[in-house]
Structure 1
Amino acid sequence: MPLLSRKSAGIVTGGALGRIGPLEVRLARDAAEIAAAQEVRFRVFYEELGARRQLVHAIEQRDADRFDDVCDHLLVFDTSLPGPDTSKIVGTYRLLRQERAAVAGGFYSTDEFELDALVARHPGVRFLELGRSCVLPEYRSKRTIEVLWQGIWAYVNHYEIGVMTGCASFHGTVPARHAEALSYLAHHCRALPPWDVRAVEDRYCAMDLMPAEAVSMRSAFASMPPLIKGYLRVGAKIGEGCVIDHDFGTTDVFIVLPVTAIVSRYLTYLNNEAERFAA
């Protein structure tokens, strides 16, 4: 995997890691920017999508948990907006490296999927968990996703990540409402045995709700959330079973993306964009 020295410098200094038009991506530099990202997450997860609120959420108006302190926070800024950087955040991703997960007592996803078993099968590979993906409604476009991936790719190169993992969600807690999309994932997008992950036993829900011959690839793909479609286009695969998250009101699937499995055309794009930005 090529290491991009200027990109690596951006990781260390908090400099920009990618840019498309007025959108710029970099890591959070301080606690104020992390708090602003948590406020964006609150607006999307709680105010827009109806996640279950606790008293602390009502008081602080932020989505926060114990993992925030050990994660890096990738932020997208609309530099055309007025005011300080904290008021320009329009998207965020939470990045949890394997060595930082050890400090936190494990990965976030282990409550839903048997990620520890996967990590144990690959002792020489460095894992990165992607989570809390969040983009404000007016910025949910291909351009925002692309600039986020510029930042992720710079991060992956800098830390020599071997595989990206994490949960991705369908809205709602009734898997049958997403029967065709979930069935398509189960029949056509499952991870191969070396990278397969199963939902934890007491939370396991079947995904193969329709027979393969009854599933239309076109309509199944069209009904998937943009984040899941984006992962599939890059080359990601899906673990076995889905999990209902009642707190966030979602049905979660598990994403597995070894860096070596990223499709060649997208890998070329990422490297070209990284070199262009570094030049």
Structure 2
Amino acid sequence: MAETVLLTKGRYRARIARTPEDVAKAQCLRTLAFCTNQTDCDDFDQKCSHVLIEDRRDGGRLVCCFRLLAMESGQDVTRSYSAQYYDLSAMESFDGSMVEMGRFCIHPDRSDPDILRIAWGAMTAFVDRNRVRLLFGCSSFAGTETEVYLDSFAILKDRHLAPKRWLPRVKAPHVFRFASNLKRRPDAKKAMVRMPPLLRSYLLMGGWVSDHAVVDQHMNTLHVFTGLEIGAIPPARKRLLRMLAG
């Protein structure tokens, strides 16, 4: 099988996994990044395409990975990973192809900001190639203590809630309803420092979030449903993404 390379930039290469061994490498990195006691794997791994970002100057070492689940329209959204935790019935009327990005992680020993840029470049290449109209997933905050992230949640409430027509409803048993419970003026600097890098990227492109966070004890995270309508990305940001993907 020919290797499916999404892009190569400088020292990094992004490609689609093509063998069980590739997927196993991604699972090992996820296990390390998410600090789980058991190998991070689930049934969705067999349904998804896995994107691997490798360091060509370090023997092809895996430095980042994520998985993608493609859907033809909103009618398929209930089979997504996110649908286990959020009531996504409002999104079933979405007309257009969708892709769920999940299990995004960067090797904990790597802090090169180019890795995240390459990841978004690879995502852009995939979105363009498949004419995707909506990108979504769960954006995770480390740990399950909400106090650390109150400024971040306040900013999400004030500026980034999903349009009512797509707003996910509560489904998980343990949630933090920040949109209805938080009454505070956020410190913008603290909010952005504590915002997960992936979520910051979504927001810069016009992404939106659910009005509540799921408390996921299994993964030791708080996560919010995050959506990004491709057509709503600001033109300047689109040009930057396509430069990364080119």
Does TM, scored on the shorter chain, surpass 0.5?
A: yes
Which of 1, 4, 15 pairs up with 1:26? 15
Q: Greater strand share, 1 or 2?
A: 2
Q: Which residue in 1 is equivalent to 2:207?
A: 236
Q: CA deviation at 1:228?
A: 1.3
Shift of 1:97: 0.9
Contact kept, 8 Å, 2:73 with 2:92, in 1: the verdict is no
**Structure 2 unaligned residues grouped into runs of 5+:** none
Deviation at 1:104, TM superposition (A): 11
Alignment match of 1:41 (pick from 30, 50, 62):
30
* Residue 172 of structure 1: how far off its partner (Å): 1.1
Summarize the Cα distance change of 1:35–1:222 in structure 2 as closer, same or farther, 3 Å threshold.
Answer: same
Distance 2:235 2:104 in 1: 24
2:237 matched to which residue of 1?
266
Amino acid corresponding to residue 29 of structure 1 in structure 2: R
In structure 2, what is the Cα distance between the partners aligned to 1:158 and 1:20?
18
Structure 1 contact 101–107 (Cα < 8 Å) conserved: no
How far does residue 258 in structure 1 lie from its aligned partner after superposition? 0.6
Residue of structure 1 equivalent to 2:101: 130
Q: Is the counterpart of residue 257 in structure 1 residue 246 in structure 2?
A: no
- Aligned with 2:135: secondary structure? strand
How far 1:138 moved relative to its partner?
Answer: 3.0
| 1:171-196 deviation line (CA, Å, top 9, x unaligned) | 11122221111111112111112232
Supply the AA of the counterpart residue of 1:196.
L
Count of aligned pairs between the two proteins: 245
More helix by share: 1
Decide which of 74, 96, 109 is 2:51's aligned counterpart.
Answer: 74
- For each residue in 1:24-58, what CA deviation from the matched residue of structure 2 results, as whole angstroms up to 9, or x when unmatched? 11111211111111111111112xxxx4x3xxx2x
One-letter amino acid of the counterpart of residue 70, structure 1: K
Kindly report which structure 2 residues correspond to 1:82-231, keeping only aligned pairs within 5 A, or say none. Answer: 82=59, 85=60, 88-98=61-71, 106-115=79-88, 117-122=89-94, 124-200=95-171, 202-208=173-179, 209-212=181-184, 214-231=185-202
Read off the aligned partner of 1:141 and give its amino acid letter: D
Preserved CA contact (<8 Å) 1:195 1:256: no
| Counterpart secondary structure, 1:138 | coil
Percent identity over the alignment? 25
Q: Judging changes above 3 Å, is the alpha-carbon distance between structure 1 residues 30 and 201 closer, same or farther for their aligned structure 2 residues?
A: closer
Following TM superposition, the consecutive aligned residue runs of length 4 or more in structure 1 with deviations greater than 6 angstroms are 100-105
> 1:78·1:90 contact (CA, 8 Å) conserved in 2?
yes
Within 5 A, what are the aligned runs for 1:4-15?
A: 13-15=2-4
* 1:75–1:223 Cα change, 3 Å: same
Assess if the C-alpha contact under 8 Å between 1:71 and 1:100 holds in 2.
no
For 2:168 and 2:7, the matched residues in 1 are separated by 32
Q: Residues 100 and 81 (structure 1 numbering): CA distance in 2 closer, same or farther, change over 3 Å?
A: farther
TM-align CA RMSD? 2.3
